[in-house]
A and B are shown apart, each in its own frame.
Chain A
Amino acid sequence: MRPLQNNEKRLAALFIFLIIGYAHLRGYEEWQATVRRNTQKEIDLVAEKNVAAILMESQSISTERLKFLSEKQPVAKEPDLASAALIDTIQKSADTYQLKITDIALQPTQSLPHAFQTSATVKLTGKFENVVQWLYQLQGPENFTTLIRSSIKSDPNPPQVIAEFEIARWYKPIVPKP
C-alpha cells in the first residue's frame, strides 16, 4: 500500500473529525434526553414522596377504616344469588312494617371500585311512620345498604304515602381471578 499524500491525509483527518463531531452531537442529544427524563422522573418521585408523606399521616385512621371494612362489609359468596337475597330481605322487612309492595324489580349487578353492588327498585305504599321505621332498620352503617334513589309522595289519603326506592347493597369488591 502506498503512503498517503498530504491532501489525502488532510481529507482523512477531516473525515475522522466529522465522524467524531457527529458522534459527539448524537451523544450530546442522547445525554440531554436522558437528563431531561431523569429530571422529570425526579420531579415525579419527589411529588409522589410528598403525597405519600401526607397520606402516611392518616395511616392510623386508614388502618381503622380498613379493619372496619374487612370485618363488617358483607361478602357476596354467590354473586348471582346476592340480588335475590336482597329482594328477599326487602320483601320480608316490608311485610314486618305492613307496607304493601306494588312493584319490585332487580337491577343489574355492578362491580364498582369500592363494592360489588346489587340493587333493586321497589315501589310501595303504607303509613308514613312505617316507611320511616322500615328505612331506619334497612339502613345502618353495618348493613352497607344505601338508597341510590328515593321518592316519598303524599297519598291523597294521609297518613298513607307512595314511596319508590332504588335500594343497593354494597358487598366487598370481587377481585377478578387471575
Chain B
Amino acid sequence: MICWSAPSAQASALLEKHLSLHPQIQPKPSPLFPKNSFSLTPSDLHLKQIEGKKKKRLILLSLLFLIAYGSTVGSYVWDFLKKQKELNQLEKEVAQVRPLYQQIRKTSFDWDALQPALNPDRYPLELMMQCVSLLPKENARLTLFSQNQNKIILQGEAKSAEIALKFTTDLKNHPPFKSFKWETPPPKLLPNQTAQFRIEATYSYASPAE
C-alpha cells in the first residue's frame, strides 16, 4: 500500500492487523489526464442543446422538403414552358403558311363551284349531245331534255321497249356519264305500242353550292 504521507502508528497497526497491508510512503505524483475524456454538461444547457438540435433537424427537413417541392414544381414548370415554346413555334410555322393555304383552299372551292360554267363536260348542251349520240337514228326520239344544276331528266319514245332499254343501258355505260347516278324505271307501253321512257340522273360529285 502506497501512501503519500506517513500514517499514524495506530492506523498502520490497524491496516497491518486487519488487512495485512504494509504502508509505503512515496511522494505525491503529478495528476494524469485520462485518455478518454468526458464532460458533464449542466442540465439546462443540455436541454438547450437538444432543442437546438431539434430546431436544426427541423430546418434541415424543411430545407429538404423545399428542395424536393421546388424541384418537382420546377420540373413541371420547365416541361410546361418547353412545350409552350414548341407550341408557339408550331403556331408561328402554321401562321406563316396559313394565308397561302387558305388562298389555295378558297381557289379550290371557287373552282369547284364554277365548274358548271368552266367545264364543258358539265354543260347541259354537251350532256344533251352525249345523250343524243347514243339514241338510235331511227325508231327512237327524245321528247324532253331537262337539266337542273346537278340533275338531268330525259324523256322520250321508242318503237319498242327493247330499244328503250338498250338506250338506257348504253347511257349508264357511256364513259362521260360514269359520274352520274341513274334512275331508270321500266319504260311505259303506250296504246300505239310505242315505249315511253323517263330517265333521271344525278351528278354524284356535286358541290354543296350546286
| Residues of chain A whose beta carbon lies under 8 Å from any beta carbon of chain B | 31, 34-35, 38, 41-42, 45-46, 48-49, 51-52, 55-56, 58-59, 62, 65-66, 69, 112-115, 132, 135-136, 139, 141, 143-154, 170
Indicate if the CB atoms of B209 and A56 lie closer than 8 Å. Answer: no
Indicate if the CB atoms of B113 and A45 lie closer than 8 Å. Answer: no
Indicate if the CB atoms of B94 and A48 lie closer than 8 Å. Answer: yes
Indicate if the CB atoms of B144 and A52 lie closer than 8 Å. Answer: no
Query: Which residue of B90, B117, B142 is within 8 Å of A154 (Cβ)?
Result: B142
A residues less than 8 Å from B80 (CB atoms)? 31, 34-35
Indicate if the CB atoms of B84 and A38 lie closer than 8 Å. Answer: yes
Measured between alpha carbons, how far is A38 from B107 in the docked complex, in Å?
31
Indicate if the CB atoms of A114 and B209 lie closer than 8 Å. Answer: yes
Q: B36-44, B121-129, B183-191: which one contacts chain A?
A: B121-129
Query: Which residue of A55, A112, A135, A153 is within 8 Å of B113 (Cβ)?
Result: A112
Q: B10-18, B20-28, B98-106, B193-201: which one contacts chain A?
A: B98-106
Known: A52-B101, A150-B146. A115 touches B90 (CB 8 A): no
Interface residues on B, range: 35 or more
Measured between alpha carbons, how far is A42 from B100 in the docked complex, in Å?
20
B residues less than 8 Å from A69 (CB atoms)? 107, 110-111, 114
Known: A141-B120, A170-B117. A58 touches B108 (CB 8 A): yes
B159 within 8 Å of A by Cβ?
no
Known: A45-B91, A149-B149, A152-B128. A55 touches B105 (CB 8 A): yes
Indicate if the CB atoms of B109 and A56 lie closer than 8 Å. Answer: no
Indicate if the CB atoms of B113 and A113 lie closer than 8 Å. Answer: yes
Measured between alpha carbons, how far is A58 from B110 in the docked complex, in Å?
15
Measured between alpha carbons, how far is A153 from B128 in the docked complex, in Å?
12
Indicate if the CB atoms of B114 and A114 lie closer than 8 Å. Answer: yes
A residues less than 8 Å from B120 (CB atoms)? 139, 141
A residues less than 8 Å from B111 (CB atoms)? 65, 69
Indicate if the CB atoms of B109 and A114 lie closer than 8 Å. Answer: yes
B118 within 8 Å of A by Cβ?
yes
Measured between alpha carbons, how far is A114 from B129 in the docked complex, in Å?
28
A residues less than 8 Å from B87 (CB atoms)? 38, 41-42, 45
B residues less than 8 Å from A38 (CB atoms)? 83-84, 87
A residues less than 8 Å from B141 (CB atoms)? 154
Can you report 22 A-B residue pairs in the complex whose CB atoms are below 8 A from each other? Answer: A38-B87, A49-B90, A52-B100, A58-B108, A62-B104, A69-B110, A113-B110, A114-B109, A115-B113, A132-B125, A132-B129, A141-B117, A141-B119, A146-B116, A147-B147, A148-B148, A148-B149, A149-B147, A152-B144, A153-B143, A153-B144, A154-B143
**Residue picked from B84, B110, B111, B209, most chain A C-beta under 10 Å:** B110
Indicate if the CB atoms of A113 and B124 lie closer than 8 Å. Answer: no
Measured between alpha carbons, how far is A162 from B145 in the docked complex, in Å?
11
A residues less than 8 Å from B144 (CB atoms)? 151-154
